[in-house]
Chains A and B, each alone.
Chain A
């Protein structure tokens, strides 16, 4: 009698364990099952994860792709560039969204970048800064920015230029590891961890901190710095023009910051230096380059019409040559 009961319970435990096991294994992301069905239609799943900078546009693209290929399902999540790359390398997702350059360690492991758009990181100050007009007229050189953000040689504004106020410079940087900060750091020849200053979480956070403080300096992504509706810098913020040729003033060819279309045109034509302009990238596995479904989606994203979305969302489309180069990446083995 008793023995029998024990048998039952053991049986039950085994069942419960197997149920747990099934749930666990089931929760793992499904492996990409990409194929073309008999009538030549695309079928399958594309899962995407990664940088917040690319997330909104990736969703737009996926919806348009679904309209053309109703049998394709998308699964998109955001969580940072590093997570996107990790997920791609461990086969959890098909495409990682990345908003910085890949590190060599990541390429060595088989991550393969395909650039799909550009944007830029822009130096920002408060629009009520006492020397606002002067900064707009003379700009800051790369070296001056290095001495503000990296070496901390300049503690006060008047040490940069004697015409500025004798007040301390309040430097703000991103606290979270982010493509924007990494790109800004690259422009200054260092890594994000070398940027000095108060760390604020997130792009909106840094914008808010600079809006609150007249003597502050920081950096933002284009689409946080400019108002996408008015095409002008958001109220309270102003752009720091970069004095590219070090002549102590902003010449006409360096002056493209007043409206969003002007700035994106300058980024597209590489008149704004890169970095801080940067490529936004899809990362796939090296061996997935001939996968029919992924290839179809990435080629679709590189088409003119899809690239056209970018401008109104504060990104910069790739130019013709760049699109040709990226398309080649998919075909060559």
Chain B
């Protein structure tokens, strides 16, 4: 008898302990990164390193602006490509497609989600980069090697398709049929109904999907690293090479750990990434809460 109760308690305390461990890990990551970046922050002015665009650590120039903007460029390009496509695709799947098509496409999306990023990177090098260089760039009269933020954006867009589509389809399916019927019975066309009922009702969900997509896009490392050109400059056009923060860390970490300032700079880059993703998720969570309250 006592053993049963004891087991009960064991499960309770055990799970509590594991939960605390899990939360602690996140805190420890933040603390560890901060401690490691302190040498850099003590030597340089924070505003200076965030706003300067000269990156030559061995000479003491730690300009992070090209990396921050590289991350922003690649992420924004991927959203410009992926979001409209995914919204239209999920509208089609929910409103127009037959059940059979919907049931076969959604599992396919999950398969896409399971493909390891390095394969997307290889695909980017073999297909996206040459196509950009030989066919797309000439249309705009630009001369490029193809290794560019545009290529990074395309690869990322394909990588965030699955997560966007699966969430958007889920959300669209929750829009009540009665509302749609009411709109249609007042004489609205299918498209007018979709714009004024479906999309309006599904807005918080769509934003949530985009937030998840962005979180994944900002942190994506190897696939982007393989196609974005890795030139520490501020991109001025879609066809310029860029250099996102995760690529910076992945490229230099193993080689430069033994040089204290360089190591500290890379740790600061990691902290920056952590803060950007954390802050972005926090803000979007607040926005979503407000939307849901009003919705």
Q: Do A and B come from one complex?
A: yes
Residues of A within 8 A of B257 (CB): 80, 82-83, 85-86
Q: Knowing A194-B56, A198-B241, A199-B230, say if A176 contacts B10 (CB, 8 Å).
A: no
A176–B258 touching, CB < 8 Å: no
B residues near A201, Cβ cutoff 8 Å = 225-226, 230, 251
* A197→B247 CA distance, assembly (Å): 16
Within 8 A of B (CB), among A198-233: 198-201, 205, 208, 212-213
Residues of chain B with a CB closer than 8 A to A208's CB: 125
Q: Which residues of A contact B229 (CB under 8 A)?
A: 198-199
Q: Is the CB of B254 within 8 A of A177?
A: yes
Q: Are A103 and B251 in contact (CB under 8 A)?
A: no
- B252 pairs with A177, CB closer than 8 A: yes
Q: Contact check: which of A12, A83, A193 meets B10 at CB < 8 Å?
A: A12
A275, chain B: closest CB distance, angstroms: 16
Q: A5-B5, A105-B260 are in contact. Are A82 and B254 (CB under 8 A)?
A: yes
| Min distance, Cβ B152 to any Cβ of chain A, angstroms | 12
Given A13-B13, A85-B258, A175-B225, does the pair A191, B58 have CB atoms closer than 8 Å? yes
| A82→B258 CA distance, assembly (Å) | 5
Cβ of A111: which chain B residues have Cβ within 8 Å of it?
A: 258
A8 at the A/B interface (Cβ < 8 Å)?
Answer: yes
The residue in chain A whose Cβ has the minimal distance to the Cβ of B56 is A193
Could you say which of A82, A106, A170 has the most chain B C-beta atoms within 10 Å of its C-beta? A82
> Which residues of chain B in 1-39 are interfacial with respect to chain A, using CB atoms and an 8 Å cutoff?
2, 5-6, 9-10, 13-14, 17
Measured CA separation A205–B147 after assembly (Å): 12
Chain A residues near B278 (CB-CB < 8 A): none
Contact yes or no, B13 A205, CB < 8 A? no
B259 touches A103 (CB 8 A): yes
Interface: A239 (CB within 8 A): no
Given contacts A105-B260, A194-B56, A199-B231, contact A205 B226 (CB under 8 A): yes
A244 to B178, CA, bound (A): 82
B274 at the interface (CB under 8 A from A): no
Q: B80-124: which have CB < 8 Å to A?
A: none
B295 CB-CB contact with A under 8 Å: no
Query: Please, which residue of chain A has its CB at the minimum distance from the CB of B226?
Result: A201
Does any Cβ of B come within 8 Å of A252's Cβ? Answer: no
B contact residues, total (Cβ < 8 Å): 38
Confirm or deny: B145 has a beta carbon within 8 angstroms of a beta carbon on chain A: yes
Residues of A within 8 A of B188 (CB): none
Q: Which of A12, A177, A213 contacts B256 (CB 8 A)?
A: A177
> Counting CB contacts under 8 A, is A39 at the interface?
no
Most buried by B among A103, A196, A201: A201
Contact of A175 with B5 in the complex, beta carbons under 8 Å:
no
The yes or no answer to B255 lying at the interface (CB within 8 A) is: yes
Are A175's CB and B251's CB within 8 A? yes
Q: Given A13-B13, A105-B260, A198-B230, answer yes or no on A178-B57 (Cβ-Cβ < 8 Å).
A: no
The residue that A79 contacts in the complex, of B225, B251, B254, with Cβ under 8 A, is B254
Whose C-beta in chain B lies nearest to the C-beta of A202?
Answer: B226
Measured between beta carbons, the chain A residues less than 8 angstroms from B238 are none
Q: How far is the CA of A105 from the CA of B257 in the complex (A)?
A: 12
Shortest CB distance B49–A (Å): 15
- Residues from chain B with a CB closer than 8 A to the CB of A268 are none
Q: How far is the CB of B39 from chain A (nearest CB, A)?
A: 13
Residue of B nearest to A106 (CB): B258
Tell whether A16 is near chain B: CB-to-CB under 8 Å. Answer: yes
Q: Closest B residue to A102 by CB, please name it.
A: B258
Per-residue CB contact flags for chain A residues 5-31 toward chain B (1 = under 8 Å, else 0) read 100110011001000000000000000
What are 21 sample pairs from A and B whose C-beta atoms fall under 8 A apart? A12-B10, A82-B254, A82-B255, A83-B255, A83-B257, A83-B258, A85-B258, A105-B259, A105-B260, A175-B247, A177-B255, A177-B256, A178-B255, A193-B55, A198-B230, A198-B231, A201-B225, A201-B251, A208-B125, A212-B130, A213-B145
The 3 residue pairs across chains A and B that have the minimum distance between CB atoms = A80-B254, A199-B230, A177-B255
Known: A5-B5, A193-B55, A201-B251. 17 other contacts (CB 8 A): A5-B6, A12-B13, A16-B14, A16-B17, A81-B255, A82-B254, A82-B257, A83-B253, A83-B258, A106-B258, A175-B230, A176-B255, A198-B231, A199-B230, A199-B243, A200-B230, A205-B226
Residues of B within 8 A of A (CB): 2, 5-6, 9-10, 13-14, 17, 55-59, 125, 130, 143, 145, 147, 225-226, 229-232, 241, 243, 247, 250-260
